[in-house]
Structure 1
Amino acid sequence: MTKWTVDTLMEAIIKSTEALSGHPFKEASKEQIYKGICEIVKLEVNRQWEKTNRKYNNKQPKQVYYLSMEFLIGGLLKSNLLNQNMLHICNEALTKLEFSPDEIYKQERDPGLGNGGLGRLAACFLDSMASLNYPGHGFGIRYRYGLFEQRLINGYQTELPDYWLDNPYPWEWKKDDEAVELEFGGTVQMERDNNGELVFQYINTDKVRAVPYDIPILGYQNEVVNTLRLWSAEPISSREQREFNQYYHQLDHHHSIDQISGFLYPDDSSEEGKLLRIKQQYFLVAASLKNIISNFKSNMKKSLKHLPKKAVIQINDTHPTLAIPEMLRLLMDEEGFGWDDAWEITTNIFAYTNHTIMSEALEKWPVDMIRNLLPRIYMIIDEINERFCQGLWFNQPQLRDQIPQLAVIADNQIHMARLAIISSFSVNGVAKLHTEILKTQEMKEFNQLFPKRFNNKTNGITHRRWLLMVNPKLSELITETISPAWILRPRELTHLIRHIKDQPLLDRLNQIKRENKIELAKFIQQSTGILVDDHSIFDVQIKRLHEYKRQLLNIFHVIYLYNELKDTPSLDITPRTFIFAAKAAPSYYFAKEVIKLINTVADIVNYDPSIKGKLKVVFLENYNVSLAEKIIPAVDLSEQISTAGKEASGTGNMKMMMNGALTIGTLDGANIEMKDLVNRSNIFLFGLTADQVQEYYHNGDYQATEIYQTDERLTQIMHQIRDGFFGQEFNDIYYHLLSSNDPYFILKDFDDYVETHQFVDQTYRNSNKWLSKSLVNIAHSGKFSSDRTIREYATSIWKL
């Protein structure tokens, strides 16, 4: 690792920028300077990357392959500078060159490779694996278009294409010589070879070339560089294509080669969209497994029977589950293994992470789609199902009546979660409550069948990005207070506990939060035109917009406060700035109506002089990693208000806790573990428990209409949204809550939520009390570092 100084880096930035731009440095644009710095860092990274790969090839350690449809990696320049111990020096060098470092760094566009928590978790895991010196790599798809760019037009979400690759991406290396060929469709012919064994031949298939693009994943100042390999779909070579076209049809327009790596999460409300999603999933796993097997054979020179000793494949949710039948296909059809040996290898190499208990989110695909698109894969899934069901029938007679609820193929659907469970050696949930619900409710019978298979691995976040990088002032204060040991061992943050009554420390903590809020307030004014009070409580809910996450409950509280202030303008409340950021799926009508409601309420509240600026509502568009990095250091109150039992874990709660926010939340997901760490007195809890929610579902005795009719506050709010009080009628929200009997208990939890917010208000008025609680949260946040999570995976699942 080169030992840079401010002067040597300044000189290198000037030379690199001039070489790339062809102009004197004084004439260079911010984007050209950004690219010039990237080139400097890439030279450093390449040397370490080659060294790491040589080490892995020579020592041949067991390696982890993390398969995920999403990797929400965010901007890499600042992160890579931090990991190379160059960030502080680069900031100084740019300042001396009379440029704002942040203006240069924001030239980088967020890669459109993920959607939300699932993809950000995968990125944090890769970061921790490299930083902890574990040989772990990611496999994903190089989508040309991300989910979408969100724009708010008249308060409505409008989706624009997120073509993040419109300029060359500086952190990827194309490895054309390592491309692999894949096949879709066609028919399967079975023949006998000379030994009487069945041989499967594929006829009339559509061929696709998967080309890898590698992104380096840097460990923190340890010269370890692992790899995120993203696959791009391309046509086979022109000569082969001409021969191919003489005999076989082109891929259908809607499922062309170009589309496979075209869009993240194509709309699956149509049959075409479903087929494209299946094609994407198979494309990812088929290319990745070929790569894994090829690497093993070239490096190990041993039988593939030894593959589980040298590789473990972690499936991130159900999306990559087709890897299981694909591994069996490769082992049997291409490597000559019989079923029993192939099954032994497969079930000892795959581990599955479940991310949801909501049945509608557990993937199921129509049998005909899989059979037509992937005929050989369907045959293997059918065989897995037959063997599993026969085993239940003969060995578990008490479960015979439940076979339709356990079978991989049932009701003409292929149940991907069931396939993952019965074919993996480990099934883990992502928070203690989530795992318990899996074991005792949603997957109870599977847990009884495989009692040693289920385990918990509570999610985590990389504290290097989400504290050290995004909140340097707070990081510096922590280091001065307890030494820099926390950077390598985040559990050392607990030493802050002894300082909760240290007044100078609390004063500095308060000043840092204030400075971060001032910066966010400037950004809000620049991007929305809304002027917010940086002395107000910054009350923040940032996550995907979904009914169960209950942004609707949050805006109901805002409406309630507004009504109170209209009735009593002199009402003594602490000023609040409510900040929302969220994307709704393009076809998710209800969620998009909630976005419109929030913005409609904002238009009334923000410009009503009678409430004297005591409430402001801000919806920041196009939520992504870069926007989260701006918001999170400034948060006072973190809204984690999902219906209990619905949020598997949550990681936004961890990021805001780590930056000193207090949490208002339900006993759901990782909130429970946060409560256990900080004590109930340092978190604001409200609402039904998961058991109470389940009891209401089971007994069917919840009556939303009764609450609506008896709580005058809710009656008023519901009539306001129905009757156009905010300038537009929201009849769909009104009728949905009543006709669907309030499925996520927004009306039921409203009273407790409002009361808990009143406690928040009173607590915030005592500055030292609030700051002490904030420090307690920071002190215990080290438990939620992804380093801890990855150590648990490595020790108990991956056996590294």
Structure 2
Amino acid sequence: MSRPLSDQEKRKQISVRGLAGVENVTELKKSFNRHLHFTLVKDRNVATPRDYYFALAHTVRDHLVGRWIRTQQHYYEKDPKVLLGASWMEEADDWLRYGNPWEKARPEFTLPVHFYGRVEHTSQGAKWVDTQVVLAMPYDTPVPGYRNNIVNTMRLWSAKAPNDFNLKDFNVGGYIQAVLDRNLAENISRVLYPNDNFFEGKELRLKQEYFVVAATLQDIIRRFKSSKFGCRDPVRTSFDAFPDKVPGVPDSPSAHQAWDVTVRTCAYTNHTVLPEALERWPVHLIETLLPRHLQIIYEINQRFLNVSGGGLGWGRCCARLLPQASRHRREGCGFKEFYELEPHKFQNKTNGITPRRWLVLCNPGLAEVIAERIGEDYISDLDQLRKLLSFVDDEAFIRDVAKVKQENKLKFAAYLEREYKVHINPNSLFDIQVKRIHEYKRQLLNCLHVITLYNRIKQEPNRFFVPRTVMIGGKAAPGYHMAKMIIRLITAIGDVVNHDPVVGDRLRVIFLENYRVSLAEKVIPAADLSEQISTAGTEASGTGNMKFMLNGALTIGTMDGANVEMAEEAGEENFFIFGMRVEDVEKLDQRGYNAQEYYDRIPELRQVIEQLSSGFFSPKQPDLFKDIVNMLMHHDRFKVFADYEDYIKCQEKVSALYKNPREWTRMVIRNIATSGKFSSDRTIAQYAREIWGIEPSRKRLPAPDENI
């Protein structure tokens, strides 16, 4: 037993993400200065804030390296993923403009990835020849565990050209041609989710996905053949299709063995129920880009036909149906026909979020208030939050939770004023909907409520309304016209509402640009109300709703996706539930959805649609939102009007409860206390046990300030 540490010694200890170990503060300062002076070549008097950040990052990475190296002896290059550039909206967001001090280039493990070419059939089997080669260069980022002395690696891939500069072309003035090969190769990892509304975009998307698969698969096989992996351990990775595991001769014994290995090695998970989200590639595109793989896909299809009497179809290759024929386990939703064929292979796992990032890191005030009541063990065992149910009527705890929420709102209000130049009332109800912009997410339903509330304020300016700040954030796919029009509508509504002196600070509408994790870490702790309003039966699960619940926001939502399980945990009386259930949607589909019926019957809805049609929110372009109106009136697959009336009434209940801060906070506490099920620790443990046959370890090291 070592002696207890003095308070002075404890203050000198440094902890990085719960890694055990004691560092002398003086030594860390020396390391910081060394990186500033020698790694970055900067003097303190001229260093910028970014230089200080990079020096600090290098210092912290040094702290992790010892655990990282020892971890790699067992889990070397674990969990490979892809690094792609970023351009979601109309302006590119260059993630790597200033470099990334956390990642380590590993050019010694660069791998070739082949495209195009042709297939030759020889006596030894089929050969893929005359291909174009792109190099996949790995970058490793350390990912520390929580108090387990393990630092795993996230492997990221960047596309490089084998010959990135043609000096001959350059010397004769062909400057563009000299770097053409490099640019074509690097396009693969230049932009995340490129527009695929045209052939070149579709081809680039398929290139990106195959690039990740091919590089990852080669890397796994290389490591599998080394002595660092046991031959019986299943390997978990995140790609969908695995056809290039099957060797060249489909009917040879080695082919049958490879098929057996493929099925036993791979599992498949699906997290969407929308048909358009299930990728389908034209056969002629695969035939051109990956000719040998198309032959193997045909062989997989034939094997499945022999077993089931059904097939994958012709004309298009569905990337989400292919794995159904080649997996030992399938998790998620959809694929009823495959379930009926092999029900024993299907499982369901409730999604989860990590409490370390989505509570302890982003909401330290709330994490501390919770720890004062039930201790810190909940951080790695989120089910312990149920202990908070005994504090629902504790006046001191109610005050503490409300105080933390108000502090978070004040911080976010200051952030909005600084970054968006928008002043909001921090005492207003923060009504938040942040997620991908899509028709099924029904940001349009939120917009209709905002306009309805605006009209009510204008009609009765002297009436008291609960102040409300509506914030909508998210990104639209580059080729998704309707999603981009929804964003334009949100901003147009904000331009009118936010500048109307009659409304004042009773209603504000803000579109949160460039929604991302770092912004989510600010807005989620400040949220009062979480909007989860997709049409029942369209959301597979979702995790944003869980983050809001854990951080003390109440949910208004349909019985869709994870909302169902969240309501079961917290009790429907602690949720604002509205709208059709799945069975109601099915009945409406059978009867036939007619938007005109709701338009004629509900005066407030009719007024809103007339405002959109007349250009009230776009006076310079009166027809700007005609596509939205036409969609809502004539071909709305997600039935916005059908839930409008119930949604408006439910929002009135929200406002009524918000006028009673004590009861509101008591409901918040109940939601926090029952959010333990939605920890990613539980999800991952279920995957480990039920799919990969691994028993997870819950061993945890003491914190650095605890006596070991």
Q: TM-score, normalised by structure 1?
A: 0.80
Determine if contact 2:263/2:326 at 8 Å carries over to the other structure: yes
Aligned to 1:535: 427
Picking from 185, 192, 208, the partner of 1:280 is 208
Which of 84, 91, 101 is the aligned partner of 1:160?
Answer: 91
Give the structure 2 partner of residue 662 of structure 1. Answer: 554
Letter in 2 for 1:684: F
Corresponding residue SS for 1:648: coil
**Match among 118, 121, 127 for residue 187 of structure 1:** 118
Q: What secondary structure sits across from 2:87 in the alignment? A: coil
- Among residues 105, 122, 138, which one is paired with 1:212 in the alignment? 138
**1:643 match:** 535
1:194-226 superposed Cα distances (whole Å, 9 cap, x missing partner): xxxxx2222211112211111111101222111
The residue aligned with 1:610 is 502
- The structural deviation recorded for 1:532 is 0.7
Matches within 5 A, 1:506-585: 506-585=398-477
Match of 1:749 in 2: 643
Aligned to 2:127: 201
Pairing 1:293–2:293 present: no
| Cα distance in 1 for residues equivalent to 2:438 and 2:432 | 16
Does the aligned pair in 2 maintain the 1:312–1:351 contact within 8 Å?
no
Q: Matches of 2:253 and 2:641 in 1, distance apart? A: 58
Indicate how the Cα distance of structure 1 residues 311 and 239 shifts in structure 2: closer, same or farther if over 3 A, else same: farther
Matched, 1:321 2:219: no
- Work out whether residues 163 and 182 of structure 2, in 8 Å CA contact, stay in contact via their aligned partners in 1: no
Q: Which residue of 1 aligns with 2:9?
A: none
Give the alignment partner of residue 710 of structure 1, picking from 601, 619, 623: 601
Does 2:174 correspond to 1:267?
Answer: no
User: Using a 3 Å threshold, how does the CA distance of structure 1 residues 298 and 778 change in structure 2: closer, same or farther?
Assistant: same
Which letter maps to 2:213?
Answer: V
The structure-2 alpha-carbon separation of the partners of 1:187 and 1:271, relative to structure 1 and needing over 3 Å to count, comes to same
Cα deviation per residue 1:530-575 (whole Å; 9 max; x = unaligned)? 2111111000000110000011100110100111111111222211
- Aligned equivalents of 1:313, 1:485: Cα separation in 2: 29
Alignment of 1:301-312 (within 5 A): 306=231, 309-312=232-235
The residue correspondences of 1:655-694 to structure 2 (distance < 5 A) are 655-694=547-586
SS of 2:463 mapped into structure 1: coil
1:397 corresponds to: none
Partners of 2:196 and 2:479 within 8 A in 1: no
Which amino acid in the other structure matches residue 784 of structure 1?
F
Alignment-mate amino acid for residue 422 of structure 2: I
Provide the rounded CA distance (Å) in 1 between the counterparts of 2:35 and 2:165. 40
| Distance (Å, rounded) in 2 between the aligned partners of 1:241 and 1:455 | 56
Q: Tell me the distance in 1 between the aligned counterparts of 2:453 and 2:503.
A: 10
C-alpha deviation, 1:21, in angstroms: 4.4
Partner Cα distance (1:301, 1:515) in 2: 49
Work out the CA distance in 1 between the residues paired with 2:317 and 2:40.
Answer: 54
1:737 corresponds to: 632
Match of 1:140 in 2: 81
Residue among 377, 389, 396 paired with 1:504: 396
Q: 1:45 maps to which residue?
A: 64
For the 8 Å contact 1:461–1:654, the answer to whether it is kept is yes
Taking the aligned partners of 1:752 and 1:419, their CA distance within structure 2 comes to 41
1:727 aligns with 2:593: no
Letter in 2 for 1:180: L
Q: Does 1:342 align with 2:237?
A: no
Specify the SS of the correspondent of 1:212.
strand
1:408 aligns with 2:312: yes
Q: Does residue 169 in structure 1 map to residue 64 in structure 2?
A: no
The one-letter code of the counterpart of 2:185 is I
Alignment map for 1:106-145 (pairs within 5 Å):
137-143=78-84, 145=85
- Displacement of 1:359 after TM fit? 0.8
Distance change >3 Å, CA 370–CA 499, structure 1 → 2: same
What amino acid sits opposite 1:696 in the alignment?
A: L
How far apart are the structure 2 equivalents of 1:445 and 1:23?
63
Task: Identify unmatched segments of 5+ residues in structure 1.
Answer: 58-135, 151-158, 194-198, 243-248, 394-402, 430-434
CA apart distance, 1:696: 2.3
Tell me the TM-score normalized by structure 2: 0.90
Deviation sequence 1:554-611 (CA, Å, 0-9, x none): 0110100111111111222211010111111222111111111111111111121212
1:226 to 138, 152, 158: 152
The CA distance in 2 between the partners of 1:667 and 1:694, in whole Å, is 14
**What is aligned with 2:329?**
426
The answer as to whether partners of 1:184 and 1:374 remain within 8 angstroms in 2 is yes
Q: Secondary structure at the match of 1:256?
A: helix
SS at 1:578 equivalent: strand
**1:5, distance to aligned residue in structure 2 (A):** 5.7
Secondary structure of residue in 1 paired with 2:320: helix
Which residue of 2 is the match for residue 771 of structure 1?
Answer: 665
Q: 1: distance between equivalents of 2:402 and 2:595?
A: 42
User: How many angstroms does 1:14 deviate by?
Assistant: 4.1
Query: What SS does the corresponding residue of 2:79 show, helix, strand or coil?
Result: strand
Higher-helix-fraction structure: 1
Cα displacement (A) at 1:2: 4.1
Q: How far is 1:140 from its partner? A: 2.2
The Cα of 1:468 is off from its aligned counterpart by: 0.2
* Alpha-carbon distance in structure 1 between the residues aligned to 2:381 and 2:507: 40
Q: Distance in 2 between matches of 1:727 and 1:262?
A: 36
User: Does the Cα contact within 8 Å between 2:391 and 2:397 map onto a contact in 1?
Assistant: yes
**Which amino acid is 2:312 matched to?**
V
Distance in 2 separating the partners of 1:631 and 1:42: 28
Superposed CA RMSD? 2.4
Q: State how 1:77-96 maps to structure 2 within 5 Å.
A: none
Cα distance, 1:252 vs. partner? 9.3
1 CA distance for matches of 2:571 and 2:298?
A: 50
Shift of 1:391: 2.5
The AA in structure 2 aligned to 1:363 is E
Q: Which residue of 2 is the match for residue 491 of structure 1? A: 383
CA distance in 2, matches of 1:484, 1:787: 16
Unaligned runs of 5+ in 2: 1-19, 169-176, 695-708
Change (3 A) 1:200 1:637: same
> How many residue pairs were aligned?
663
Aligned to 1:235: 161
Three-state SS of the structure 2 residue aligned to 1:49 is helix
Report the secondary structure of 1:424's partner residue.
Answer: coil
**CA–CA separation in structure 1 for the residues paired with 2:33 and 2:182:** 47
**Contact 2:194 / 2:478 at 8 angstroms: preserved in 1?**
no
Residue 237 of structure 1: how far off its partner (Å): 5.3
State the SS of the aligned residue for 2:403.
helix
Offset at residue 239 of structure 1 (A): 12
The DSSP-based 3-state class of the residue aligned with 2:350 is: coil
The answer as to 2:25 corresponding to 1:17 is: no
Task: Kindly provide the amino acid, as one letter, of the partner of residue 186 in structure 1.
Answer: G
Q: CA distance change for structure 1 residues 384 and 254 in 2, over 3 Å: closer, same or farther? A: farther
1:721-754, Cα deviation, whole Å (9 max, x unpaired): 00011234321111111121x3211111001001
Q: CA deviation at 1:19?
A: 3.7
- Alignment counterpart, residue 362 of structure 1, candidates 278, 283, 304: 278
Deviations 1:671-696 (A, max 9, x none): 00000000011111001112221232
- Displacement of 1:227 in angstroms is 1.4
Give the superposition deviation at 1:6.
5.5
1:5 and 1:673, CA in 2 relative to 1: closer, same or farther beyond 3 A? farther
Distance apart, 1:361 and its partner CA: 1.0
